[in-house]
Amino acid sequence: MERHALVRQHLHAIEQVLRDHQLWQSVAPQPAAFESTQPFCMDTLEPHAWLQWVLIPRMHALIDSKQPLPTSFAIAPYYEMALDAAHIGRAQLLAALQELDVLFTDAAD
């Protein structure tokens, strides 16, 4: 399968994990939340909200416009630290993020 299609498939899997655990939000955060200068908007968004409102749409936009995808990329390590052991859906979300990371690790090799 072509890389763009694989990435899209993994983005859908991440979205499904968020939906399965009722972490998918129906209302977007206030615009000011996206003005953060912190990685992952950690000071203004919950970790799962960053995935929904930043990562997933931006990656879909790159794919839709046939733009090059990042050559190296790893977000799972942040989520391993950001989500405590009791976080709803933590194991499933980490697994999905690690699978996405592998696509970008392999691309860098």
The one-digit pLDDT tens for each residue of the chain (109 residues) are: 698 999 999 999 999 999 999 999 999 999 999 999 999 999 999 999 999 999 999 999 999 999 999 888 899 999 999 998 888 899 999 999 999 999 988 655 4
Containing structural domain, residue 86: 3-26+36-108
The answer to whether residues 93 and 7 touch, using CB atoms and an 8 Å cutoff, is no
Question: Could you tell me if residue 31 is inside a domain?
Answer: no
Total number of domains in the chain: 1
Percent of the chain as helix, strand, coil, to the nearest 5: 65, 0, 35
Concatenated DSSP letters for 82-106?
A: HS-TTSTTHHHHHHHHHHHHHHHHH
Question: Could you tell me if residue 61 is inside a domain?
Answer: yes
Q: What pLDDT, on the 0 to 100 scale, is given for residue 107?
A: 55
Q: What is the CATH number of the domain that holds 84?
A: 1.20.1440.40
